Amino acid sequence: MGTNEAIVAGIDVSKETLDLCLLPSGVSQRFSNDESGCSQLARFLTDATPSRVVFESTGGLEMLAVGTLCAASLPVAVVNPRQIRDFAKACGLLAKTDKLDAKIIALFGERIAPEIRPLKDEAAQQLSALISRRRQLVDMQTAEKNRLTTAAKAVRPGVVQHIEWLEQQIDSFDDDISSFIQASPIWKAKEQILTSVKGIGPVTAATLLASMPELGTVSRHKIGALAGLCPYNRDSGKHKGKRSIWGGRAAVRSVLYMAALSAVRYNPVIKAFYERLRQAGKLHKVAITAAMRKLLVILNAMIRDNRRWNDSFYAFT
């Protein structure tokens, strides 16, 4: 199937609908966000032969449409919604409707040409769904434990019972995640490499496998940027602002943060690196973020080399 370099499609996603805009023609159309509507959208775009079909990430609402279009060999790019919002503000496009949002997304695709990436395979999507649900359960458990401290005597037993049920559910999802990984020889081997590092547990390893499929295939700078762990300068003239991290994959950063907290206590390489930064006057937040990035860079090298942890080999990675 050929593609027309002049045509870009932008799709605004909601729970019920998919709003499409084609540029430069300005043609717009609405489809239902279900299997029938996604199939109709795929047929429409196959005839239109766009060079790029751009979605913004909407927390999973876009996945059915993205999967259907990828299966139809259409060139799909899924973009961080913050990039779309910043682009719209820069262009002075402040009005907001589903139809206008689709046009802005298409305009972003036309002007910025975001990278087209293949959709994660079905197994990775299923593992990602298990991990996301486990994270939701942990958040609910934390909220219930917080409520328990101030709960009235009449409702405390119910809160305690719910906390116990959530613990059982979390344990069940841990078993499901482990079984899922063990069923794949490739993932099993990668998990064994990742968990050989002190500080990396099964949940962190599973999250990296599902949410960072590029691990071991890209450079240290690229892997840091994908996770949102590359600090960016904020300098202007003589002013030297604080460097800060931005963007990237929040789920990966979340598990790496917990892993780094453990690693600075028990992993000799990460501990020495962290303490060296602290002795140099770096704030804890800065040092722990640097430890997260170093840990990810080491994991990237280990997967690339198909090598388990070795204190001396990775000390200067």
Does 278 score more than 60 pLDDT?
A: yes
Least Cα distance to 60 among 120, 144, 149 occurs for: 120
Residue 284 has pLDDT above 90, yes or no: yes
What 3 state SS string does 202-244 have?
Answer: HHHHHHHHHHCCCCCCCCHHHHHHHHCCCCECCEECCEECCCE
pLDDT tens readout for residues 296-308: 999 999 999 999 9
Residue, of 249 and 45, whose pLDDT is higher: 45
Predicted confidence band of residue 234 (pLDDT cuts 50, 70, 90)? low
| Per-residue DSSP letter, 150 | T
Q: What is the pLDDT of residue 239?
A: 43
pLDDT band at 231 (very low <50, low <70, confident <90, very high): low
Question: What's the CA gap between 101 and 80, in Å, rounded?
Answer: 14
Counting residues of the chain whose pLDDT is more than 70, the rounded percentage is 90
Q: 269 or 121: whose pLDDT is higher?
A: 269
- Burial of residue 35 (CB within 10 Å: 0-12, 13-18, 19+) is exposed
Over 80: is that where the pLDDT of 316 sits?
A: no
Residue 59 clears pLDDT 80, i.e. is over it: no
The per-residue pLDDT for 22 is 96
Q: State both tokens at 17.
A: 């609908």
For 223-227, 228-232, 311-315, which range has the lowest pLDDT when averaged over its residues? Answer: 311-315
Question: Mean pLDDT over all residues of the chain?
Answer: 88
**Longest CA pairwise span in the chain (Å):** 68
Confidence of residue 1 (pLDDT cuts 50, 70, 90): very low
Residue 311's pLDDT band (cuts 50, 70, 90): low
pLDDT at 271 over 70: yes
More confident residue, 245 or 15: 15
Q: Could you tell me the pLDDT band of residue 184, with boundaries at 50, 70 and 90?
A: confident
Handedness of CA 248, 123, 203, 143 (dihedral sign): positive
Helices marked H in the chain — which ranges? 35-48, 63-71, 81-90, 98-112, 122-148, 156-182, 185-194, 202-211, 220-227, 250-266, 268-279, 284-305
Asked whether the bond before 202 is cis by omega within 30 degrees of 0, the reply is no
Residue 58 scores a pLDDT above 80 = yes
Render pLDDT for 156-183 as a digit per residue (tens, 0 to 9).
999 999 999 999 999 999 999 999 899 8
